[in-house]
Amino acid sequence: MAGERSDEIVVVGGGVVGLTTAVVLAERGRRVRVWTRDAVEATTSAVAGALWWPYRIEPVALAREWALRSLEMYEELAARPEPAGVRMVEGVLGETRLDEVDGWLAGRVPELRAATAGEYAGTGVHARLPLIDMPAHLPWLRQRFVAAGGVVEARTVSSFAEADAPVVVNCTGLAARELVPDPSVRPVRGQLVVVENPGIDTWIVTTDAAGEYAYLFPQPGGLVLGGTAEEDAWSSEPDPATAEAIVRRCAALRPEITGARVLEHRVGLRPTRPAVRLDREALPDGRLLVHNYGHGGAGVTVAWGCAEEAARLVGG
């Protein structure tokens, strides 16, 4: 077995970070298998919003590089005719002044300017950003990976020693808390409500006076409303009162949402860490282990940049 697979890489984790990392490695000619506990449609990534925006992620300097590289990739994917689940969509970051947006984004983010009164009632910043439809994007990533010669296997891993390859890449997200083990990995619970879209074609992200999030993302499957950021909350069951509050906050931004038919409730546990872990270490038996986890709610935003850095650490 070891002899047959002496040049293989096992990527553990089938969310957006794991699949994107696997794609980069496979397209560079490496033999790659993805081991995932859940089908890609059942991962935390599958319930993400998912708007490209460098939000609450450390280390800041590296996260900027990873985010900008990912922005390039999403812009390219949005321009392709193939259905990658990526669109460039206009919207407003509410309760934010233009001078509060980091200068490194100026000149790089399309249509970055102060929002007009017609676009947003308060102070906001307008931009055109990648909006990723995760139920479409994750299967597309998997298909691209398989087309490059990769293999996806349903495996639950209790130890990296189980991976029968000389290189293992850890993209396990929240599971890294037990698997590494790394107690600094903590869940930040996010709850979303998907409703029938009453005709909204722009996104809004804002925070109200009480510090509660309100955001709405027009996706092909409906209007995604959010959200929450509950630290150290492990429940994956939707809470009805929370769902009602989410709809109420979003309807305050766009009254036409009031009474929209609810299509789906979603809950995801963001794998948060004080800083992303992207480094390499030797396993006890001398094999190489590359870590790529702890992205919190910014996994989509930095996925391609982190994947390329992980590939560099692998030596691919």
Binding residues for D-dopa: 215, 270, 297
In total, the chain counts a number of residues equal to 316
As separate numbers, helices (DSSP H) first and strands (DSSP E) second, the chain gives 6, 14
Annotated binding site: 44-45, 157, 172, 215, 270, 296-301
Whole-number Å distance between alpha carbons of 42 and 203: 25
Whole-number Å distance between alpha carbons of 95 and 120: 9
Measured from the Cβ of residue 100, the count of other Cβ atoms closer than 10 Å reads 10
222 three-state secondary structure: strand
Give the closest residue to 85 by CA, choosing from 131, 127, 124.
131
List of residues 6+ apart from 277 with CB closer than 8 A: 176, 182, 291, 292, 293, 294
φ and ψ of 67, to 5 deg: -65, -45
What residues pair up with 189 in beta bridges, in sequence order? 230, 269
Annotated binding site for FAD: 44-45, 157, 172, 296-301
Give the closest residue to 130 by CA, choosing from 63, 61, 77.
77
